[in-house]
């Protein structure tokens, strides 16, 4: 998979070259490139913003640099991903969908956002398969870079062969629609806190059952909204924790 990220703060995306995505880059699973939007400006001040039509506070990102960035970076099958507070909520399901795409072009806005015509133009381009506006959550950040870090990491780790232990992916939170169970490691007793006996029992069926019950209990307590959607096998009744 190829991912191009366009931003006026390229250094903000440096963390993507460390840890998980870094490994993927070396292994060729992920071809990640970060670009400074100002590459596509031509004035002395490398201007990327201007005052909003209709008035209002702040500035808006000019369409011209974005148009030239698209001309330079779009490939025959590009998905343009645009972080925005007004977008579709990002989720593991959306991450799985984006992970199937051959090329993501992540457009990181700043100021009050990107001129709408950039998104309209992108959607009409024959080389753009889809423009996906994505929200990281119901809060306002200063730009799209933080969302880009999260989106790219969530998508990159779903690439086949990316995670050392593919099995851990299948067990992950939100894969079965429930929150994940608590995890423990050595020592068995720590500052008066003991690891639950079942986890030391070696009884794998009992362990699996305990973990599923813990996931259901946590989901009922913290995310009842997920319970409705979760595919509970056999209609197992969930009792909120007492």
Ligand X SMILES: Nc1cc(-c2ccc3ccn(Cc4ccc(CN5CCCC5)cc4)c3c2)n[nH]1
Minimum Å gap between C-beta 116 and ligand X is 10
CB of 82 to ligand X, least distance (A): 8
CA separation for the pair 79, 131 (Å, rounded):
6
- Separation between Cα atoms, residue 93 and residue 174, nearest integer Å: 8
53 belongs to the binding site for ligand X (CB under 6 A):
no
User: Please, what is the minimum distance in Å from the beta carbon of residue 114 to ligand X?
Assistant: 7
- Which residue has its beta carbon closest to ligand X? 109
Q: Which is nearer to ligand X, 32 or 60 (CB)?
A: 60
CB 82 within 8 A of CB 130: no
At closest approach, how far in Å is the CB of 64 from ligand X?
Answer: 18
Q: Check binding of 63 to ligand X (CB under 6 A).
A: no
Instruction: Report how far residue 152's alpha carbon sits from residue 172's, in angstroms, rounded to the nearest whole number.
Output: 17
Closer residue to ligand X in complex, CB, 84/215: 84
Part in contact with ligand X (CB under 6 A); list of ranges 3-11, 132-140, 164-172, 216-224: 132-140
With a CB cutoff of 8 Å and minimum separation 6, the contacts of 185 are none
Asked if 98 and 79 count as a contact pair (C-beta separation under 8 A), the reply is yes
Strands 103-107 and 60-61: unpaired
- The nearer residue to ligand X, 142 or 209, going by C-beta atoms, is 142
Size of the site for ligand X (CB under 6 A): 18
Decide whether 113 or 177 has the Cβ nearer to ligand X.
113
* CB-side neighbour CA atoms (13 Å) of 71: 8
**Which residue lies nearer to ligand X by CB, 55 or 126?**
55
Strands 193-194 vs 189-190: parallel, antiparallel or unpaired? antiparallel
| Residue 84 found at the interface with ligand X (CB under 6 A) | yes
Q: Is 135 in the site for ligand X (CB under 6 A)?
A: yes
Is residue 128 within 8 A of residue 78, CB to CB? The reply is: yes
Q: Which of 15, 76, 137, 187 binds ligand X (CB under 6 A)?
A: 137
Q: Which of 20, 29, 141, 220 binds ligand X (CB under 6 A)?
A: 141
> What interhelical angle do 63-73 and 116-124 show, nearest 10?
30
- Distance between CA atoms of residues 156 and 234, nearest Å: 33
Q: Is 139 in the site for ligand X (CB under 6 A)?
A: yes
What is the distance between the alpha carbons of residues 216 and 66, in angstroms, rounded to a whole number?
A: 45
* 88 neighbors 134 (Cβ within 8 angstroms): yes
Q: Interface with ligand X includes 10 (CB under 6 A)?
A: no
Minimum distance from residue 138 beta carbon to ligand X (Å): 7
Q: Using the rule CB under 6 A, which residue among 110, 122, 149, 177 binds ligand X?
A: 110
Site residues for ligand X per CB under 6 A: 83-85, 109-113, 135-137, 139-144, 147
């Amino acid at each position: 998979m190829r991912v191009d990220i366009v931003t006026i703060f390229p250094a903000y995306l440096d963390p993507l070259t460390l840890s998980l995505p870094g490994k993927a880059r070396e292994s060729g699973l992920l071809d990640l490139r970060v670009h400074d939007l100002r590459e596509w400006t031509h004035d002395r001040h490398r201007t990327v913003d201007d005052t909003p039509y209709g008035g209002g506070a702040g500035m808006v990102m000019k369409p011209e640099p974005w148009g030239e960035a698209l001309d330079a970076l779009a490939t025959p099958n590009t998905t343009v991903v645009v972080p925005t507070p007004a977008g579709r909520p990002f989720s593991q399901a959306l991450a799985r969908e984006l992970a199937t795409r051959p090329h993501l072009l992540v457009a990181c806005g700043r100021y009050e956002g990107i001129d709408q015509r950039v998104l309209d133009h992108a959607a009409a381009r024959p080389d753009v398969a889809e423009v996906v506006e994505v929200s990281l959550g119901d809060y306002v950040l200063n730009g799209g870079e933080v969302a880009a870090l999260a989106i790219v990491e969530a998508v990159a780790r779903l690439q086949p062969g990316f995670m050392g232990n593919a099995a851990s992916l299948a067990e992950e939170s939100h894969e079965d629609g429930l929150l994940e169970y608590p995890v423990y490691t050595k020592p068995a007793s720590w500052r008066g806190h003991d690891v639950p006996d079942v986890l030391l029992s070696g009884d794998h069926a009992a362990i699996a059952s305990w973990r599923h019950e813990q996931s259901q209990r946590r989901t009922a307590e913290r995310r009842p909204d997920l319970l409705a959607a979760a595919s509970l096998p056999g209609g197992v009744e969930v009792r909120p924790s007492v």
